């Protein structure tokens, strides 16, 4: 019977809930068709018609140190790279397949270089690993919910030996956990069910897999997608943790409206994974990038609700992060340079969200994130005057006086800050007041 060790779990999770902000990187052969990472499935491309991309792949500009520097400059504290996505292409030198980056023109172990670059920049490093594999003959084809050949009757599943596939999959996870040094995160993706199979939990031989992972990488943090996908929670949320329970919940392309609490109402670790445009993998015609101003506020929202933000970039076929993404990362970094204290190690404030923005908290320090100004002095909702030691501009450290104007007379129980005569806030995106409690 699996015994969940809460103390060990909290110790293992400490850096992760402190870090709050990470970079997701979706990269692989699909960057050549440049229509997103699901292109094989969406367009029902046969394996033989996808192979030309393998023959062609030659990321001449790949320089993961550049990626790591961009992540660090943006204030990100960890990075997660797709080591193998659903298309089955391995960005690492797996001994169990020829469908790998070391057999492409570049001849490079892209994962190894990525991990070394991330560590060199002082970042925590993780690998995404797809449980699905659309190139392996023993993975369900016809009738599967996602497989590119799911509708093609020529691809029946007689003779496919799923146990063979699991041996292959487990061996590759073993390779990643053995040959590449300390991994900080393993990001499995994803569990699902269709009319033929329930691809969850022990269908993946998840207990055996996780026991092996934890033996090789005792401190690694694992997501919840051996159990669910972005639309589920998992057994830790059920308060009935399985041996392969996710360490965090992984909402996808959404920020949980009220954060995430387990079935008994206890706050849980969670990480919203979000794309900058609308695709994880590089997509040439998807230029619908979210503005940096929006993403800064979304990072604040995640932290104010007790979660992390894993923000994705999809490098192109040559290995370059798109210029729009680099610009967004630069703007986020400029804000983080002055305000990261209100993000790292922060979480829920335990008080109502104010009209003017959001509040994050670290111990007895509150950070009021002002997305807009008020008319008159700024109300600091949720605190009493005799609780507040001082108010400071986080960006400059300057003292912010308590307001004491006649207009606030009717509201003696509310603390007001005097932001001065300028109706325009110093930071047009998010001006942070540091409110130190006694
Ligand atoms: C979904 C998509 C996958 C992507 C993942 C990121 O599972 O299928 O392409 O890697 O979301 O969370």
CB-defined site of ligand 1, < 6 Å: 26, 37-38, 189-190, 229-230, 252, 273, 280
| 134 Cα: distance to centroid of ligand 1 (angstroms) | 14
What would the two tokens of residue 203 be?
Answer: 């269908």
Asked whether this chain's domains 6-342 and 357-437 adopt the same fold, the reply is no
pLDDT tops 90 at residue 266: yes
pLDDT per position as a tens digit, 236-251: 999 999 999 999 999 9
CATH top-level class for 6-342?
A: alpha beta
State percent of the chain over pLDDT 90. 99
**Ligand 1 atom closest to residue 250's alpha carbon, by position in its atom list:** 12
Tell me how far the alpha carbon of residue 419 lies from the centroid of ligand 1, in angstroms: 44
Q: Stretch 318-346: mean pLDDT, rounded?
A: 98
Q: Is the pLDDT of residue 286 over 90?
A: yes
Q: Where are the beta strands (DSSP E) in 26-77?
A: none
Q: Which residue has the tokens 């002082």?
A: 122
Atom of ligand 1 nearest to the CA of 252: 12
What value, to the nearest 5°, has the Cα angle with vertex 92 and ends 87 and 96? 75
Question: CA 60, CA 317: separation in Å to the nearest integer?
Answer: 9
* Ligand 1 atom nearest to CA at 26: 10
Q: What is the pLDDT of residue 184?
A: 99
End-to-end CA distance of the chain: 46
CA 191 / ligand 1 centre spacing (Å)? 11
Render pLDDT for 387-403 as a digit per residue (tens, 0 to 9).
Answer: 999 999 999 999 999 99
Q: Whose CA is nearest to atom 5 of ligand 1?
A: 189
Residue 90: CB atoms within 10 Å: 27
**Cα–Cα nearest to 248, from 198, 343, 184:** 184
| Residue in 89, 192, 280 to alter for ligand 1 test, most ligand atoms within 8 A of Cβ | 280
What's the 232 CA to ligand 1 centre distance in angstroms? 13
Nearby residues of 420 by Cβ (< 8 Å), 6 or more positions away: none
Whether this prediction's pTM lies above 0.95 is answered by yes
Domain ranges of the chain: 6-342, 357-437
pLDDT at 2: 85
CATH numeric code, 357-437? 2.60.40.1180
Q: What is the CA radius of gyration of the chain?
A: 24
pLDDT band at 93; cut points 50, 70, 90 = very high
Ligand 1 centroid to 11 CA: how many Å? 28
Positive or negative: CA dihedral 213, 217, 218, 222: negative
CA of 84 to the centre of ligand 1 (A): 12
Q: Which one of 128, 134, 189 would you pick to mutate in the ligand 1 pocket, going by the greatest count of ligand atoms within 8 A of its CB? A: 189
Question: Distance from the CA of 421 to the center of ligand 1, in angstroms?
Answer: 48
For residue 36, give the ligand 1 atom closest to its CA.
Answer: 9
- pLDDT one-digit tens code per residue, 123-156: 999 999 999 999 999 999 999 999 999 999 999 9
| Average pLDDT in the chain | 98
């Amino acid at each position: 019977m699996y015994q969940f060790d809460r103390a060990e779990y909290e110790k293992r999770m400490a850096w992760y809930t402190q870090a709050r902000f990470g970079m997701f990187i979706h990269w692989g052969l699909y960057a050549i068709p440049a229509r997103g990472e699901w292109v094989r499935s969406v367009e029902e491309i046969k394996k033989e018609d996808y192979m030309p991309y393998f023959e062609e792949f030659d990321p001449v500009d790949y320089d993961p140190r550049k990626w790591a520097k961009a992540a660090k400059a943006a204030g990100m504290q960890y990075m997660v790279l797709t080591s193998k996505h659903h298309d089955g292409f391995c960005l690492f030198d797996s001994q169990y397949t020829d469908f790998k980056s070391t057999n492409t023109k570049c001849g490079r172990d892209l994962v190894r270089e990525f991990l070394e670059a991330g560590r060199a920049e002082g970042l925590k490093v993780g690998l995404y690993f797809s449980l699905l594999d659309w190139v392996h003959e023993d993975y369900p084809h016809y009738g599967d919910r996602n497989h590119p050949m799911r509708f093609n009757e020529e691809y029946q599943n007689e003779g496919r030996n799923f146990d063979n596939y699991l041996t292959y999959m487990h061996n590759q996870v073993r390779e990643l956990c053995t040959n590449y040094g300390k991994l900080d995160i393993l990001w499995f993706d994803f569990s699902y069910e269709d009319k033929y199979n329930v691809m969850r939990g022990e269908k993946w031989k998840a207990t055996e897999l996780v026991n092996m992972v934890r033996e090789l990488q005792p401190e690694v943090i694992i997501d919840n997608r051996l159990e669910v996908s972005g639309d589920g929670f998992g057994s830790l949320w059920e308060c009935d943790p399985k041996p392969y329970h996710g360490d965090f919940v992984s909402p996808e392309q959404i920020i949980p409206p009220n954060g995430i609490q387990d079935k008994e109402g206890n706050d849980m670790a969670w990480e919203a994974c979000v794309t900058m445009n609308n695709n994880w993998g590089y997509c040439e015609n998807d230029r619908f990038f979210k503005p940096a101003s929006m993403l800064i506020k979304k990072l604040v929202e995640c932290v104010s609700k007790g979660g992390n933000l894993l923000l994705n970039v999809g490098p192109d076929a040559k290995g370059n992060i798109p210029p729009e993404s680099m610009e967004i990362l630069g703007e986020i970094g400029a804000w983080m340079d002055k305000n990261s204290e209100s993000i790292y190690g922060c979480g829920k404030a335990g008080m109502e969200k104010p009209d003017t923005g959001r509040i994050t908290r670290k111990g007895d320090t509150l950070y009021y994130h002002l997305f807009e100004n008020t008319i008159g002095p700024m109300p600091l909702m949720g605190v009493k005057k005799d609780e507040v030691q001082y108010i400071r501009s986080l960006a400059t450290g300057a003292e912010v006086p308590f307001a004491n104007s006649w207009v606030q007379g009717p509201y003696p129980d509310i603390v007001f800050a005097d932001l001065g005569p300028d109706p325009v806030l110093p930071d047009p995106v998010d001006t942070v007041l540091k409110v130190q409690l006694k």
